[in-house]
Amino acid sequence: MFFHIDPADGLAIYDQVVRQVKFAVARGVLSPGELVPSVRELARELAINPNTVARAYQQLQTEKVLQSVRGMGLQVSADARSNCRKERQQLIASRIAQAIAEARQSGLTAEELQVIVEKQIATEYAK
Amino acid sequence: MFFHIDPADGLAIYDQVVRQVKFAVARGVLSPGELVPSVRELARELAINPNTVARAYQQLQTEKVLQSVRGMGLQVSADARSNCRKERQQLIASRIAQAIAEARQSGLTAEELQVIVEKQIATEYAK
Amino acid sequence: MFFHIDPADGLAIYDQVVRQVKFAVARGVLSPGELVPSVRELARELAINPNTVARAYQQLQTEKVLQSVRGMGLQVSADARSNCRKERQQLIASRIAQAIAEARQSGLTAEELQVIVEKQIATEYAK
Amino acid sequence: MFFHIDPADGLAIYDQVVRQVKFAVARGVLSPGELVPSVRELARELAINPNTVARAYQQLQTEKVLQSVRGMGLQVSADARSNCRKERQQLIASRIAQAIAEARQSGLTAEELQVIVEKQIATEYAK
DNA sequence: GTGGTCTAGACCACC
DNA sequence: GTGGTCTAGACCACG
């Protein structure tokens, strides 16, 4: 499966699921019309409680990323892809902006920060 | 004051206080031997609950950044500066690493991410 | 067909089917002795699952509105019309009573409510 | 307390709570800035599970009717009153419209329906 | 099988 | 004390 939950992320688990579903739609791993894994199945795969998955899916429905097909499951909405693409940029950028704001506030110069960031990007994408 | 609390940061408020005290020590804004603001005073300035400040100070004592001076308050420990300098790098780097890991997981390429990061750094340091 | 299913009605689909069969009998659209559409046919027409229709028909048999004719299907019972007429009043009245009770509870005066109701009746019967 | 839960309403309990909070704000029973009953307190009063109240309150937060005051509770938003007033009309009208649509579909004439409605309004407001 | 709702009880951060 | 989150397990409606 394309999800990975990190209990130490700081973000709530249901929120991690929400973000990752959006990312999967943005990437095209999930396509409009496609059924997402069932609540029970995803819960089993991620080793979390079905209610937690249900909560994430519910939020994704109110945000119109998913829509329910009675008795069949939940389906990616037709216009979800473009919305998720836009939102992905914003979600990532704001999280990075927060980290950068703290870095600056900590007294690091832009140059020192630049070094750290480049090293981290290199490390991450080398995996 | 050298602190800035952001309720929307995602981090717990007491944790933000802990980090910012460490950063202030690393920057030299707070020097070894210097007394930090009292719980009540800092709570008033940051408009947060005194219990939250007390909790942050308690953790800082546990981590030997602060030590109590009977009847005077809390002062920055003698060896706090070098420790805080080291930790600053690590705190900042790990938060950035988390954001970058999510960015990669979301399907962004290193190049797309680089663009976002540079833009955010420029924005932040232009303030 | 004399039925109309509204997925957004709030009522369960099988319950909508039950009510509408009763109403059809009350109106005389379905007469005692007449055969109702088969489960499969009605399911196809309403674009719902045959199980849902079967469940509605089962309840209608339990309530003696329909009775099975071996090898033929389900027919409207002899005494169904008068019973359905009585029940129609009660079903409609109680649903309206519920809506009115909520309206009152919401703080609307009888006059304000009267205005809303008359407007809605006019709108509905103008269709 | 100004709430009343009816398990036989058909509506989900959490939805009944959501609607009634909105109605209370619309009526002025709850004023902007005022703290609503705590999750645990309201759960106790209504004899339902705290999670059910929490779910209702959460939805009210996403709809900007309530906002949280850290450690203090949940407060009615500044602009909630006018929004709730508008929504009350719409919530009531649509529920009534549904009942009326069914009444018409059942074969009742506008006149017969009018009689039923007036009787129900009289009954309800005589309580 | 599916999602939707509800209950029960737990731990956490914050005031 | 407050809300926020998570787990566990139940029942219902629908396919």
Q: What is each CA distance from B67 to A59, A87, B17, in whole angstroms?
A: 46, 45, 16
Q: Which two tokens stand for residue D90?
A: 């719409």
Chosen from C114, C117, C127 to mutate, greatest number of chain D CBs within 10 A? C117
Chains with 3 or more CB pairs closer than 8 angstroms to A? B
Cβ of B49 near strand E (distance < 7 A): yes
Inter-residue contact B92 to B79 (CB < 8 Å): no
Which among A99, A106, A120 has the least Cβ separation from residue B23? A106
Contact B13, B50 (CB under 8 A): no
Least confident of B69-73, D12-16, D21-25, D62-66: B69-73
Considering only residues 82-121 of chain D, list those whose CB is below 7 Å from strand F: none
A111 by DSSP, 3-state: which?
helix
The pLDDT value recorded for residue C118 is 94
Binned at pLDDT 50, 70 and 90, residue B7 comes out as: confident
For C99-110, what is the mean pLDDT?
Answer: 92
pLDDT digits (tens, 9 = 90+) for C23-63: 999 999 999 999 999 998 888 888 888 888 998 999 899 88
Verdict on whether the full-model pTM lies above 0.95: no
| Residue D30 near residue D36 (C-beta atoms within 8 A) | yes
Burial B51-77 (b: 16+ CB within 10 A, else e): ebbebbbebbeebebbeeeeeeebbbb
How far is residue D7's CA from residue C95's CA, in Å, rounded to a whole number? 15
Nearest to C23 among D4, D107, D121 (CB): D107
The letter for the amino acid at C45 is E
What is residue C63's three-state secondary structure? coil
Positions of chain A with pLDDT lower than 70, given as ranges: 1
Q: What is the pLDDT of residue C1?
A: 55
Examine the pLDDT at C9 and tell me if it is beyond 90: no
Task: State the pLDDT at residue A1.
Answer: 61
B123 pLDDT band, cuts 50/70/90, is very high
**What number is the average pLDDT over the span D3-23?**
89
What is the mean predicted confidence (pLDDT) over D108-113?
93
Q: Looking up tokens 């029940």, which residue turns up?
A: C87
Q: Is the CB of B51 under 7 A from strand E?
A: yes
Residue C111 has pLDDT above 80, yes or no: yes
Looking at residue C49, what is its pLDDT?
A: 85
Q: Amino acid identity, residue D116?
A: I
Determine whether the distance from the CB of B52 to the nearest atom of strand E is below 7 Å: yes
- As a whole number, the mean pLDDT across chain C is 89
What integer is the mean pLDDT of B16-35? Answer: 91
pLDDT at C82 over 60: yes
| D40-97 pLDDT per residue, tens | 999 999 999 999 999 999 999 999 999 998 888 999 999 999 999 999 999 999 999 9
Interchain pair A96, B89: CB under 8 A: no
Of B11, B92, B106, the CB nearest to A103: B92
The DSSP H or E segment spanning D17 is helix D13-27
Residue C72 has pLDDT above 90, yes or no: no
Tens-digit pLDDT profile for residues B28-75? 999 999 999 999 888 888 888 888 899 899 989 988 999 988 888 899
Mean pLDDT in residue range C70-98: 90
Average pLDDT for residues C62-82, to the nearest whole number?
Answer: 90
